[in-house]
Amino acid sequence: MAESYDVIIIGSGPGGYVAAIRASQLGLKTAIVEREHMGGICLNWGCIPTKALLRSAEVLDHANHFKDFGLVLEGTVKPDAKAVVGRSRAVSARLNAGVGFLMKKNKIDIIWGEAKITKPGEVVVGKSSKPVVEPQHPLPKNVKSGEGTYTAKHIIIATGARPRALPGIEPDGKLIWTYFEALKPDVLPKSLIVMGSGAIGIEFASFYRSMGVDVTVVEVMPTIMPVEDAEITAIARKQLEKRGLKIFTSAKVSKVEKGAGSVTAHVETADGKVQQITADRLISAVGVQGNIENLGLEALGVKTDRGCVVIDGYGKTNIAGIYAIGDVAGPPMLAHKAEHEGVVCVEKIAGLPNVHPTDKGKVPGCTYCNPQVASVGITEARAKELGRDIRVGRFSFAANGKAIALGEDQGMVKVIFDKKTGELLGAHMVGAEVTELIQGFVVAMNLETTEEELMHTIFPHPTVSESMKEAVLDAYGRVLNA
């Protein structure tokens, strides 16, 4: 007979493994199916290893400005590509192993292979077509199950997403890269074209520029990081260009020609002119698409839209007993959104009272380039599109004592309030460590904090976080330090 579970989760990325842990905590017999790496893309090829690379870049950037801090550095500091990549992969491997440990600790069965939902309540697992290839990522020792048929009252799809490819500019792993190849270069290219300036594209552009690579970014939208507030991205662009990045906006790569060891991109600008740019490598960072194939969804009648599974606020699909969370369930395609959706989905399955549906309007976004960009809520432009009567406050890091002392005075905090109610509609930041600061505004929005409460909050001095309060004060004509 098929082994039976309360919950089977397909995919062990941040959404999947967190959902499994929460299900186990709630007393549900749980199994997780994985075909390649524990931790999914995030821990192995996304969030974590890219941050390790960017940390190396940050240290290198600081080393190149020692004189600004009154320090003398004997000799020169230069990147060792192999060592930088090795550190990144080691960080990934450590967390990969950690997920396996958490599964064992929480008594969650790991089923190794590729899953297909043959009918509601039944999952057939076949041999994985993606065997583990890295010695740093061995098969977990606590795998208890493998190929076979399994049953569960509740099946959660958490299969994530993969890089999207443009026709005629498909990645080949050699001259045209996705983030997979960009994370593990054998040697650093001397020049690089990055197609797309979302979080993935701009982070790699920032990293490779810090490593001394000549980087050109091509973005089809009028601004880089198009989902962010235009005023914030304008500041980020200025700083990125000051670091030596070349940026084309309102432009597209219409064609790519491959040479023996280089690529030539035909970049078409808004005025119809075409410029040819040749570089050693090109990174395709034009978005991702959900992994919905070969799961049996079409035969089951599970509703999808633009390559993602359609769900409600609790992860439910249109088919009873089948759920989806994370990237496969659509934007925003962020690890922390996946984790939250996983917890909400499982708590609803378990019948906990007062489970709140996921509010995508309160999901923060972070881009870890130099300078960092972070936000939550709506932009100023979106607020005006919605017809909201708003107050906008701004505060520059150039007026913040801690930022000046750190040598990080190029940044800004921007907040948007509803003029009538004082509701915080959006918060947007650019500058050093704003990916850490943004959570203050995320908490405020979740607590439905008003401007009055924020203005009465005491922020420690000296901190960069004081800029948050000053921006709020500025929105109401009460700024103190500018």
Retrieve residue 436's tokens.
């850490």
In whole angstroms, how large is the CA radius of gyration of the chain?
24
**Contact call for residues 265 and 283 (beta carbons, < 8 A):** no
**Rounded to whole angstroms, how far apart are CA atoms 289 and 62?**
36
**Rounded to whole angstroms, how far apart are CA atoms 105 and 351?**
24
Per residue, what are the HEC states of 330-385? CCCCCHHHHHHHHHHHHHHHCCCCCCCCCCHHHCCEEECCCCEEEEEECCHHHHHH
Q: What is the DSSP letter of 68?
A: G
Catalytic residue, from 62, 336, 428, 461: name it: 461
Q: Which residue is associated with the tokens 């929105």?
A: 475
| DSSP per position, 193-258 | EEE--SHHHHHHHHHHHHTT-EEEEE-SSSSSSTTS-HHHHHHHHHHHHHTT-EEE-SEEEEEEEE
Element (H, E) at 165: none
Q: Do you know the residue count of the chain?
A: 482
**Rounded to whole angstroms, how far apart are CA atoms 127 and 389?**
57
**Rounded to whole angstroms, how far apart are CA atoms 69 and 63?**
10
Residue 461 bears catalytic tag: yes
**Contact call for residues 384 and 375 (beta carbons, < 8 A):** no
**Rounded to whole angstroms, how far apart are CA atoms 253 and 220?**
8
* Long-range contacts from 232-238, C-beta under 8 angstroms, 24+ separation: 232/373, 232/375, 232/412, 232/414, 232/428, 232/429, 232/430, 233/373, 233/430, 235/371, 235/410, 235/411, 235/412, 235/430, 236/369, 236/371, 236/373, 236/430
Q: What is the dihedral of CA 164, 188, 219, 269, to 10 degrees?
A: -120
Q: Kindly list the catalytic residues.
A: 461
